[in-house]
Structures are given as structure tokens and as C-alpha cells.
Amino acid sequence: MFLICPRQEFYDLYKGLLDKAESFRIQVKGGSMFPFIRSGDWIEVFPLKEPLNVKKGEIILFVKEGCFYVHRLIRKKGGFFVTKGDFSSYEDGNITGKDILAKVLYVQRNNRNIRLDSRLNRVISLAIANCSFFIQLGVIFLRKAASLAFRFISLTQSFKIYRCLIKFFVGKHVIIREMKLEDKEQLRDLYLVSMPDIMDGILNFDKDGFWLIAESKNKISGAMTISKSEKDRELWLIFGLVVKPLFRGQGIGENLVKEAVKKAKAQGAARIGLFVNRSSNAAVNLYKKAGFIANDKFSQEFETGKNELYLLLDV
């Protein structure tokens, strides 16, 4: 479960409150602590001056690799702490005491305060911590089942009857527009599920390029970003094209790419490039349909894996 806040900004806030306030409230995003803490919940955290006093089963706020997390302490190992999200399929690894900032005692949901250190919740918390391995296996099974379900949906999306039903229930009109500041919350939820590594780009709203949003009935159904290369100012790069599974098969991704190419060309782009997973046939076909072709010559500023394909479009 992520905390959406730049690291230095949060540290400054935390240090300022450490000696002046007993607690403070934060809104969290993500599903790694479901069902104890849900995306959009407000939590009340209590700064810790002595992290070593944290007990097994308690939910803590800590920092790791520049990001803030709210996860459960499942055990102590030597001088380290091992944490894990209740709905995560893996542990976070070793956390040092200096990285633990606060302890979560209250969760606010639907105007109701849930006290996590109550006797009942404390028993449940210890049970979750002690059974974390078996819960982890269950989460892996659920994720595998969800993956199979999405594959089934992907197969059915090629049928005309599916597309007609989606248009009937979801709506025919999808608007492609540039991102607005008020879209950030919906974008965060969209990318937390599909592309957590692009979160920094969402936070940095002012950038040398633009975001495009696909919107249906005031809900974001897809998004992407395109920006100038740092070394070749005539080259623009597409990142983070994503469409919600339910909306796929409606041409939303294709329309997002077309609009991005149009806008980038109007702003002086000579070429547009992107990287795509070779095994993602749907994505590769989408880009090739838009005129992109495979190209093995790209700037050394990019780091690419063996399974990534570089595609380029001359505009």
C-alpha cells in the first residue's frame, strides 16, 4: 500500500510533527493491506521515537527505496524487521529500525473509526502475522485465478457480441483529452493496479510533454503519456499506455495513440518511439497498425530488456 507523497516533502512534514503532534492523518492508496486497510482509507499514525518497541502483527509506516509503505510487521529477525502487506504475494525484505516512522492505530472508513489495537483486532493481527506464509499462498492462488479470468476476457473481447454488450452497458462515447490536475487521483488508482513504476510521472504533473486521458461517463478508462527525449529533442517517447480490462476491444488504445501522434507532430516531433513487450501481441499489433515499425537503433540513454521491442514512427 503506497503513500502518495514525495519523499523529502513527507520527511519534512514528519520531522516537523514528531515533537509537536501525537498523531496525524494520511490517505493511502493501493490494495496490499486489504481488507484491514483499503484504497482511499484515512489512517491515523503515531510517530515512533523508539521503533524497537513495535510488536509483531502491528501495522507500521516505513520508508524503503524512496517510497513510503504501510504494511504489517510479521516477525523480527536479528536487528531487522520483516514486513508484508496482507494482500501481497511477497515479503518486503529486511527493514531497519531507522526506516520505521510510525505505527497505525486507527483507520477511518465511511465516517467510522476502526481501532486496530482493540483486543479483537489485536488477536486477528497476530493470527495474520503467524499465518502469513499460508495467506501468501492464498493470495498467489487468487492472483493466478484473476490472471486466467483476464485472459478469458481478452479472448472474448475479439467477438462482436462482447463489444456490443460493453458499448451498451458502459457507454458508446469515449472522450480523448489532456490530463487535468483533478484527474490525478483516478490516474493513481489506475496505475497502482497496472504500472506502479510510473507513479513518479503522475506526481510530476509539469513535464516536457503531456498526458492523454480516455474518459467515459466521467470515469477514466485509459491513459498514456508522451514526452520529448532528453538527448534528441525531435524524438518523442510514448510511455504507460494502459486501458482498463473491461474497456479493452473498443479501440481506446488506438485512439489514444493517434491523438498523441497528432499532438506531438503539432509540437515539432519528427519521430515517435516506444518500447513494448515482444510477447504482448495485442500491444505490438496496435502500434504496428498505427504505423510504427521495429527499429534496433535507439539511444544509449535507454535501458531495455531482452524481451523488449523498440518501435519507431516517422511523422
- For 163-204, write each residue's pLDDT tens digit: 677 666 655 678 899 988 778 777 777 776 666 556 555 555
Question: What backbone torsions phi and psi does residue 2 show, to the nearest 5 degrees?
Answer: -85, 155
82 close to 74: Cβ distance less than 8 angstroms: yes
Please give the pLDDT value at position 169: 61
Residue 143 is assigned to a structural domain of this protein = no
Which of 141, 135, 162 is CA-nearest to residue 249? 162
Please give the pLDDT value at position 19: 62
Total number of residues shown for the chain: 315
Largest CA distance in the chain: 65
Indicate whether 44 and 114 sit together in one domain: yes
Residue tagged 509506516 (cell numbers): 61
Please give the pLDDT value at position 251: 83
111: left (phi over 0), alpha (psi -120 to 50) or beta: left
269 close to 302: Cβ distance less than 8 angstroms: no
Residue 2 is assigned to a structural domain of this protein = no
Residue 141 is assigned to a structural domain of this protein = no
* Strand 59-64 to 308-314 pairing: unpaired
202 close to 184: Cβ distance less than 8 angstroms: yes
pLDDT of the chain, 315 residues: tens digit per residue:
544 555 556 666 666 666 666 788 888 877 788 888 887 889 988 888 776 678 899 999 888 877 788 999 998 888 889 999 888 878 888 888 888 888 898 999 888 888 988 889 889 888 888 888 888 788 778 777 877 776 776 666 667 776 677 666 655 678 899 988 778 777 777 776 666 556 555 555 456 788 899 988 788 889 999 988 878 888 999 988 988 877 877 788 999 999 999 999 999 899 999 988 888 888 888 899 999 998 877 665 566 667 788 899 998
Indicate whether 99 and 235 sit together in one domain: no
Examine residue 35 and say whether the peptide bond preceding it is cis (omega within 30 degrees of 0). yes
User: What's the structural domain count of the chain?
Assistant: 2
271 close to 234: Cβ distance less than 8 angstroms: yes
Residue 259 is assigned to a structural domain of this protein = yes
List beta partners, residue 69: 2, 62
Which of 165, 153, 162 is CA-nearest to residue 282? 153
Please give the pLDDT value at position 214: 92
Please give the pLDDT value at position 304: 64
Which domain CATH number covers 89?
Answer: 2.10.109.10
Indicate whether 176 and 207 sit together in one domain: yes
* Strand 209-216 to 219-228 pairing: antiparallel
Q: What share of the chain is helix, strand, coil (3-state, %, to 5)?
A: 35, 30, 35
Indicate whether 170 and 294 sit together in one domain: yes
Indicate whether 251 and 117 sit together in one domain: no
Indicate whether 161 and 127 sit together in one domain: no
Please give the pLDDT value at position 198: 61
111 close to 100: Cβ distance less than 8 angstroms: no
Please give the pLDDT value at position 260: 94
Contacts of 128 (CB under 8 A, 6+ apart): 57, 72, 86, 135
Mark out the alpha helices in the chain (DSSP H runs): 7-18, 119-130, 132-156, 160-170, 184-194, 199-203, 252-266, 281-289
Residue 304 is assigned to a structural domain of this protein = yes
Which domain, by its residues, includes 91? 7-135
Distance in angstroms (rounded) separating the CA atoms of residues 193 and 260: 23
Indicate whether 91 and 167 sit together in one domain: no
249: left (phi over 0), alpha (psi -120 to 50) or beta: left
